Structure 1
Amino acid sequence: MKTIYKKLLILLLLLPFSILAQNTVGGTVLDKVSGQPIPGVNVNVQGAANGVSTDFDGKYLLSNVKKGDKVVFSYIGYKNTVVDYVAQKSLNVSLEEDANQLKEVVIQVGYGTVKKKDATGAVTVLTTKDFNKGPVTSADQMIQGKVAGLQIINGGGSPGEGATIRIRSGSSLSANNDPLYVIDGVPVAAGGVEGSRNPLSTINQNNIESISVLKDASATAIYGSRASNGVIIITTKKGKAGDLQVNYNGNFQVSEITNKVDALSSTQFRDFVTANGNAAQIALMGAADTDWQDEIYRTAIGTDHNISLSGGSDNIVYRASVGYANLNGILKRDNMERTTLGVGVTGNFLDNHLKIELNNNTSVINSNYSDRGAIGSAIRFDPTQVVRNPDGTFFQWYTSATEINQLAGRNPLSLIEQQNNYGTSYRSIGNIQTEYKMHFLPELKAVANFGYDELSGRSFGNTDANYLNGLSGSGYNNSYERTQSRSNKLMDLFLNYNKKVEAINTVFDVTGGYSYQDFREFYNSSNFEFQTKNTTSPPSFPSRINLQSFFARTNITIADKYLLTLSYRRDGTSRFTETNRWANFPAVALAWKLNEENFLKDVSAISTLKIRGGWGITGQQDIGVSYPSIPLYLASNTAAQYQFGSDFYTTYRPQPYNSNLKWEQTTTVNAGLDFGFVNNRITGSVDLYERTTEDLLLYTQNPSFFGFSNYDNYNVGTIENKGIEIAAEVIPVRNDDFEWRIGGNITFQDSKITKLTTTQPNTPGINIGGYEGATGNTIQNHQVGYAPSSFYVYEQAYGVDGKPLDGVYIDRNKDGLITQQDKYRFHKPAADVFYGFNTSVTYKNFDMGMNWRGSWGNYNYNNVDSSKGSFNNILIRNTDLSNGVENLLETGFRSNDTKRFESDYYIQDASFIRLDNVSVGYTFNQKENSTSLVKLTLSAQNVLVITKYEGLDPEISGGIDGNLYPRPITFTLGLNVNF
């Protein structure tokens, strides 16, 4: 007992000295280059369990530090710093960026994340520093031209205009070719609703933190049936622990039209009619000099404002934002007004074993849609006529003093001023996700994600009482209303096990789960005709689609050198019958980090060198209709009611269906190389891919004996896509004051139909691509051995002077006649090559950047010239005159038959180079250790286009150039304030 007592006494005497020897040290961690504090830096004693993280101001307080200890400061993207503790009162540290770690960006993949260095698939991730600058209103505009294999073509210059987005050129002929969008874990629909514009513009671009683009099947197969066209994962910004941070980001925009269609001027028009018209037509000309395009376009003003609040404690962080944009289009009266609300809260509980995350992004968009018919009318309307009559009414063509000429064109400005078209749409995307790490097995976590995507929209409008001067036949006071709603509910339940087995130096990351997604849609419309007092409401009914899936994925990393990814998904859809309802989508990928091998590890010039290979199958069932494989009867309209006595009964008509429909399946093989040299001052990747889509879903012609419908959905054939993608970035200069970056990407692609089984024998293929000027005719064709949507045309004959001969075409089959059998496939709308180039320079507080984009090998059908480029376009009748384009003076075309419209003369090279954006910014000096920020930015969008194409703009989705809403040049002054 005495011995024990003595030992306790000695321990008590030594305790104060022990306490005195263990100190508490604090300080601030800053970025070595910018001097800004770094939140979230891990600070710990080497070899000990105690550690803390810096707060939002970069400050920390670390206890139980003894003299002689080594204090380690570590943070993703920075080199670890180790400091010897010799009883200093404070340790202030500046961390240096680690180029190797900066490339180890965390990538969002299906149901998880992976570091860039450990990715086995073809994946590109962009963060805020990579996004395009300037007047951006949607997610697609932020990454346009930035990703190899990703092509984005805006639909026109209207504010919030939608875009055609293709990853590796799409995989289908008539099924949906849009990629799958996943926003904060919720797969959402790419389509909009009545009254909406670009569906992606419903997400405030200021709230987006990163965008991951998944391109090959090994990366996308975990999403199964919805990933044949790639996946775009959008992650919104989250809060960070620390004091309240307030950020304002706003801009002021001015837009101007830069290019107009070459319509005949009043002088050219007057000379033409005088030389070629008869007396009645000459007498119709007026004395005015009106440029109708000038009359409908304007200088457009717009503003965009966003305020966000963020902060939180160690356990709960939050971020909330409110945005408001009011953007005018260059077409008069065109306007989009958008209000957005974003909220995100993340909480960690039970000693970080339980994580709960809530996200919501809501938007309300109100639109005033100008009648786009005014764009075509401004080209076609007589330039010798006045805008308004002496009594103030709009000039129009009449057949009598009280009757409007129904065959004549309309005054372009009257279409804008006297027709009202409005739209309002609401969208809310949100989810609540819980993650629980098992207390008894922390490597195992259970995840439950419940999400939704709710859209509703309404479009409505009317014509003014004085429309077309209130004459009979004008349709004045008519009105319409259309409403639509879409609902998308999601439930994901999965387990994840992540464990490193030290004995074999191998990491296992295993995920498995179940997904349930339910889609519902309703559409209704009504039209009111004022003069007859009739209201028509076509019958409508709700539709529903259900997707259910089981999925699994295993990532195995051996010695941080050899990577294996295995994934599997089994999908079921309500679109198909029970026999074909379920399909399996497996994938496998391998990667080898050569730079981690001993024979390269000590080669300082090589920072990263990884080869990748992958194979996988994905599916497609999105063909635009909800019940394509089961028999249905739909209610007919009121005109088809059956009368029995004095009562009228609604009749029902059968709908076409195909009970043999099955999954369209795409098999992808991908080989890739990721590289980084000279401490990752030179980085990039190369990918080669081949995709084969079988059982193509196509909406095509029925046999002649089929009584329900002329068209239906079928599985008809096979298409092959091949390509090479190259992306690189070089940092020629980087020091404390100056940094210069050069980046670019280029994609070579080729698509070909290899099998096509149509329902009509002895046909030349499947005709598509309607155009203006010849109702019911087409200009494109699907056929085996050719690219999809190849132009199908007559070969134009030319004279010795090089000019096209009117009505003369090459007899290609030598039968002495010019018939359909003489048509041939001539070029295609898809580019052989498309590319992007960007460069940025930062010098102290100044920064400058520019982005170029282009394509080669794509062709357009110039439907503006073909529909308005002949003598008969102007001199049609003796009761009215129409204008044409200058091209008719060059060709002298007089005929208006189908062959002229379908001449290869109008297929034009649309290759281009576009300077998308130029921006210059200045960041005002900040106080030391302060997160406050004030930055001014001046940018210009759509600055320059270099092309041989003769139309308004060479960048046309689908290759048929009608009356495109012109893309303006936009100047933007932006202000960013953070405090």
Structure 2
Amino acid sequence: MKNNYTTKGRSLLFSMVFSCLLPLFTHAVQELQIHGLITDTSGHPLAGVHVMVEATKKGVVSNFDGSYSITASTGDTLVFSALGFVRQTVTIKNGTAVNVQLEEDITQLDTVTLNAGYYTVKDRERTGSIAKIAAKTIEQQPVNNPMAAMQGHLAGVNIVQTTGVPGGGYQIDIRGKNFINGGTDPLFIVDGVPYGGQSLESTLVSSGINRGNVSPLNAIDPLDIERIEVLKDADATAIYGSRGANGVVLITTKKGRAGKTKVSASLSTTIGQVPRFMELMNTQQYLEVAREGVVNDGFGAFLENPAFDFIWPSLKTWDQNRYTDWQKELIGGTACRNKVQVSVSGGTVQTQFLVSGNYQKETTVFPGDGNYQRMSGRSHLTHHSKDERFTISLSTNYSIEDNKLPRQDFTVLAYRLQPNAPALYHENGDLNWEDSTWDNPLASLEQKYRAQSNTFIAQMNLSYSLTNNLELRSNFGYTNNQMESYRVFPSKARRPNLNLDASSSSFDINTSSRDSWIIEPQLNWKQQYGALAINVLLGSTFQKQSEQNLVQTARGFSSNSLLFNLSAARTIEVFRDNNSDYNYQAVFGRVNLNYRDKYILNLTGRRDGSSRFGPGKQFGNFGAVGLAWLFSEEGLFQNSAFLSFGKLRGSYGITGSDNIGDYRFLSTYSITGFDYNGVSALEPTGVFNPNFGWESNKKLEVALELGFFNDAIRLNTAWYQNRSSNQLIGMPLAGTTGFNSLVANFDATVENTGLEIDFRTTNIQSKHFNWSSTFNLTVPKNKLVRFPDLENSAFANRYRIGEALTSVPLYQSLGVDPDTGLYQFEDYNNDGNISALDDKQWFEDLAPEFYGGLGNTLSYKNLSLDLFFQFKKQKAFNYLNAGAMVGFRQNAPIQLFDRWQNPGDSNPIQRASGLARYPGVSEAEGFQRESNAAVSDASFIRLRNVSLTYKVPKSLSKGFDMNLYLQGQNLFVITNYEGPDPEQASFEILPPLRQVTLGLQLNF
């Protein structure tokens, strides 16, 4: 019995094991290695497509050439998915080769994920106002600075280039100027790390070229950028608290993708020129008004006096028939920029990497060998654990900038130098001083200016999924920006008759640095309860920024060859020696509720702590609420062939500002730059006042987003109102107090309102030909709503209730008095005198009345063409603001030739004056420069960008991806403005250049 039982038991055990192993054996036998190629409808390979076995959830990612390989079984279903393409499923039947062609999903493309800073959100589900510009648009523009690539493309974002000099800065405001004494600079975030957008340059060193505005954003190569998002309303910016009062600019750089290792190279050459020259008086016209001015001043007899030869050589000793177009001589050159960039990227599903480097060199349109160089290297590494719970990403960016320019911007000389001025050089090549009768403009080439910057940005992000619904994350960032700039003024750069030696030479040097680190731990929880999705984010911020700035001037050298050696100077004066620390701490949170994918509530809050306020005032609370209703998901519209998307959203919240500088609540002192008995002197610059606190910016927005005909037409409109109060203003103090001003909170309110329209259409979409258009329009309005007792304050002659902060008070010009030939002005108080306090009652707003852009993209097979027009309706100061009278020892615009000459004349320009000795002539000219006559229409339509790209067939490129492109920037401007550039509106600074680029892009 025992043996029989044992035998039966063994048989039973064997049967059980066999029955358990049979399915596994059968499955193993049926497993197949599936492979294939994934392409789009045009046959181009698609990399990064996720291929997943639906039953096992195992997946791979397609390689750079679109190929993939995955283990599956007969009867399994493969799921192919990629952002921007329709999800596709394929059931495995017979064979191991499965090739798939994915179709573009227009709806999905319009609902891409947006970066909102601490979280991401789908475009269709966002409750806040977020504008975006993608890498494709950025790459089509031959620009050095990310802000240049944004100009005109984003509604509510107004960007102006301040100079055409390489390495120069930009002014940016997002939805207007909010604070009376504050700037408009937004918060810049680069890959999650705050980045100081303020220049480290000193105006004491750079005057004449960059005006102390060397943009730190030049360190970021636009070709390295994946996308830029701009956060505008309270819902989008409140999570940044006080730092988001003026908006937030999020810059995301490119990262590696899983797939075959990819090598990309880009080479380009750009040439640039000044696009517009002013029409100035020629030699005979200039000499006519100059002689007339001397006679009008009662010094006509001196024209025959030999002693007058040296005082006014252009009328006496210089060639009276000579003519030089100084615009062509001084700013009429051709700037050249050569640029090369190489990147290597790739990786597996778990680990992706990217390494890139670039170099560029750009010359100027000025005479001489001035140039700007930039070298940078960047790396990014992302790794996911096999179970995808742990993720780490590391990125670094290091750049070196070397800007060597003449100390002086030649633009102002190009407009003012007398047309019969002597030749620049003698025949032997030496500078021509014409017997010391003039200051040769090229002498400034000896006055060297150089700015060297080193920028390092490092970021690390760690995340770990504690559960499927709970993620712990932390962001670490560090930035270091160093700048050293100098200007040299050697004695040989001055007229020989001054008999100066090296003891009169000077060397000014600015040494500045800015360090910042940030740590942001975060906890993210999400849960689905039936039709309700909940997403909760909690986090905190710890940030510290340190800045050092030292400005010195050395004088009295024994030799010009020792100018760069401070120890060789007789005297060294310290004009500025600042060391400041800024500490910032915060806690923040976000709760997002999404019911049935059509009712969305977003709550954000932040408590900020800033070292810029005194005890008891250091913390502020900020928050916002955002709502969205996707009414296109209602049953009434779900099957509509006309309306494919509809969303109504709104937001309200409060952000703050501590943008007043460091230590303003303390008593502060500065070095005067002068010695007192050999001891450096200090002077008080700030008075103790711990009572001022946070500025407040209340933001309201209502928006409607619509999509028609399967989103072939998208129309987004938004109305906003921002009210900024509790203004931090430097209240002027009497000189007897020993201080210039006292920082305090004023119960003043500034209001910004506006309408934004963003319109996008897909006009034609076929196999070979595609055409799409974009249009954006912003209609802003700024005004001072409240300022108690303004009329009795120190700001009475600067601001007015109901007027914009960008409005300037002006005299009201009444033209030229036909009897005296002098400008006349409205005497508002009828006291018989014209004064700034009582008679500057005419206000002109110099901010745009509206602005926007219009773009079109057309492609036919391998050829694509992009055109983008920028437009603005605005007013600006005209040539009269730079000079409203002729007769001085300088040239002038041809419009000033139409001057008063005899009693009874009704010409628009007052009488000529050479020495300003006629009674009242100088005062009248000064009043006219600050009158409404000096403001005119500066509206324009600019062809900002043209890009023509040809994708070379692989049969010709030997299997490589090769693109040839021709790009143009600032090609022409349609405007009635009589000046160099209607947007910059300056007669002293080099205008933005017209640029044409030829380039080649290769992918291996």
- Shared fold by TM > 0.5? yes
> Match of 1:268, SS?
helix
Q: 1:737 to 1:373 in 2, by over 3 A?
A: closer
- CA distance in 1 between counterparts of 2:491 and 2:827 reads 55
- CA distance in 1 between counterparts of 2:425 and 2:71 reads 86
Counterpart pick for 1:92 among 92, 99, 113: 99
In structure 2, the partner of 1:746 is 777
- CA distance in 1 between counterparts of 2:192 and 2:992 reads 33
Judge conservation of contact 1:628–1:713 (CA < 8 Å) in 2.
Answer: no
- CA distance in 2 between counterparts of 1:7 and 1:722 reads 78
In structure 1, the partner of 2:328 is 294
- CA distance in 1 between counterparts of 2:957 and 2:73 reads 25
The one-letter code of the counterpart of 1:511 is: L
In structure 2, the partner of 1:455 is 481
> Match of 1:542, SS?
strand
Judge conservation of contact 1:850–1:919 (CA < 8 Å) in 2.
Answer: yes
Judge conservation of contact 1:657–1:713 (CA < 8 Å) in 2.
Answer: no
> Match of 1:222, SS?
helix
Are positions 1:867 and 2:882 aligned together?
yes
Q: What displacement does 1:351 show?
A: 1.7
Q: What displacement does 1:710 show?
A: 4.8
Instruction: Please give the residue correspondences for 1:815-854 in structure 2 after superposition, counting only pairs within 5 Å.
Output: 815-820=831-836, 821-854=838-871
Counterpart pick for 1:466 among 492, 509, 517: 492
Q: What displacement does 1:335 show?
A: 1.8
The superposition leaves residues 460-480 of structure 1 with CA deviations (integer Å, 9 ceiling, x where unpaired) of 131345212444386863222
> Match of 1:511, SS?
strand
Query: Which has the larger displacement, 314-323 or 702-711?
Result: 702-711
Counterpart pick for 1:515 among 528, 535, 541: 541
Are positions 1:433 and 2:461 aligned together?
yes
In structure 2, the partner of 1:736 is 767
Q: What displacement does 1:766 show?
A: 5.1
Q: 1:89 to 1:389 in 2, by over 3 A?
A: closer
Q: 1:459 to 1:648 in 2, by over 3 A?
A: closer
The one-letter code of the counterpart of 2:462 is: T
> Match of 2:972, SS?
strand
Q: 1:649 to 1:214 in 2, by over 3 A?
A: closer
- CA distance in 2 between counterparts of 1:648 and 1:592 reads 69
Q: What displacement does 1:708 show?
A: 2.2
- CA distance in 1 between counterparts of 2:110 and 2:949 reads 25
Q: What displacement does 1:28 show?
A: 1.7
Are positions 1:114 and 2:121 aligned together?
yes
Q: 1:54 to 1:929 in 2, by over 3 A?
A: farther
Q: 1:389 to 1:675 in 2, by over 3 A?
A: closer
Judge conservation of contact 1:656–1:709 (CA < 8 Å) in 2.
Answer: no
Are positions 1:167 and 2:174 aligned together?
yes
Aligned length: 931
In structure 2, the partner of 1:197 is 214
- CA distance in 1 between counterparts of 2:516 and 2:618 reads 20
- CA distance in 2 between counterparts of 1:654 and 1:291 reads 47
In structure 2, the partner of 1:337 is 373
- CA distance in 2 between counterparts of 1:533 and 1:465 reads 15
The one-letter code of the counterpart of 1:810 is: E
Q: 1:893 to 1:137 in 2, by over 3 A?
A: same
Q: What displacement does 1:699 show?
A: 3.1
Query: Which has the larger displacement, 551-560 or 369-378?
Result: 369-378
Q: 1:6 to 1:466 in 2, by over 3 A?
A: closer
Are positions 1:283 and 2:316 aligned together?
yes
The one-letter code of the counterpart of 1:286 is: D
- CA distance in 2 between counterparts of 1:924 and 1:690 reads 49
Instruction: Please give the residue correspondences for 1:610-621 in structure 2 after superposition, counting only pairs within 5 Å.
Output: 610-621=647-658
Q: 1:53 to 1:375 in 2, by over 3 A?
A: closer
- CA distance in 2 between counterparts of 1:60 and 1:648 reads 76
Q: 1:637 to 1:19 in 2, by over 3 A?
A: closer
TM-score, normalisation: structure 2: 0.88
Are positions 1:809 and 2:831 aligned together?
no
> Match of 2:396, SS?
strand
Q: What displacement does 1:274 show?
A: 4.0
Q: What displacement does 1:53 show?
A: 3.0
Are positions 1:359 and 2:395 aligned together?
yes
Q: 1:336 to 1:595 in 2, by over 3 A?
A: same
In structure 1, the partner of 2:452 is 424
Instruction: Please give the residue correspondences for 1:238-317 in structure 2 after superposition, counting only pairs within 5 Å.
Output: 238-277=255-294, 278=300, 279=303, 280=308, 281=312, 282-287=315-320, 288-297=322-331, 298-317=333-352
Q: 1:811 to 1:13 in 2, by over 3 A?
A: closer
Q: What displacement does 1:651 show?
A: 5.1
> Match of 2:636, SS?
helix
Q: What displacement does 1:146 show?
A: 1.1
Q: What displacement does 1:559 show?
A: 1.1
Are positions 1:56 and 2:64 aligned together?
yes
Q: 1:473 to 1:678 in 2, by over 3 A?
A: farther
The one-letter code of the counterpart of 2:778 is: T
> Match of 1:888, SS?
helix
- CA distance in 1 between counterparts of 2:820 and 2:632 reads 61
Q: 1:607 to 1:173 in 2, by over 3 A?
A: same
> Match of 1:19, SS?
helix
- CA distance in 2 between counterparts of 1:132 and 1:836 reads 17
Are positions 1:506 and 2:532 aligned together?
yes
Query: Which has the larger displacement, 807-816 or 703-712?
Result: 703-712
Judge conservation of contact 2:880–2:933 (CA < 8 Å) in 1.
Answer: no
Q: What displacement does 1:369 show?
A: 2.2
Query: Which has the larger displacement, 261-270 or 509-518?
Result: 261-270
> Match of 1:747, SS?
strand
Are positions 1:534 and 2:574 aligned together?
no
Judge conservation of contact 2:144–2:221 (CA < 8 Å) in 1.
Answer: yes
Query: Which has the larger displacement, 677-686 or 533-542?
Result: 533-542
Judge conservation of contact 1:806–1:893 (CA < 8 Å) in 2.
Answer: yes
Are positions 1:66 and 2:74 aligned together?
yes
* Aligned-pair Cα RMSD in Å: 2.6
The one-letter code of the counterpart of 1:300 is: A
In structure 2, the partner of 1:677 is 708
In structure 2, the partner of 1:936 is 964
Q: What displacement does 1:597 show?
A: 1.5
In structure 2, the partner of 1:371 is 407
The one-letter code of the counterpart of 2:113 is: V
Q: What displacement does 1:805 show?
A: 6.2
> Match of 1:600, SS?
coil
In structure 1, the partner of 2:441 is 412
The superposition leaves residues 930-970 of structure 1 with CA deviations (integer Å, 9 ceiling, x where unpaired) of 983111111221111111222221103xxx63412122211
The one-letter code of the counterpart of 2:571 is: N
The superposition leaves residues 246-297 of structure 1 with CA deviations (integer Å, 9 ceiling, x where unpaired) of 1011210111222223332222212333444331343244343222222212
TM-score, normalisation: structure 1: 0.91
> Match of 1:599, SS?
coil
Are positions 1:656 and 2:687 aligned together?
yes
Q: What displacement does 1:804 show?
A: 12
In structure 1, the partner of 2:5 is none
- CA distance in 2 between counterparts of 1:824 and 1:52 reads 71
The one-letter code of the counterpart of 1:307 is: V
In structure 1, the partner of 2:250 is 233
Judge conservation of contact 1:700–1:714 (CA < 8 Å) in 2.
Answer: no
Q: 1:47 to 1:274 in 2, by over 3 A?
A: same
- CA distance in 2 between counterparts of 1:804 and 1:786 reads 35
> Match of 1:598, SS?
coil
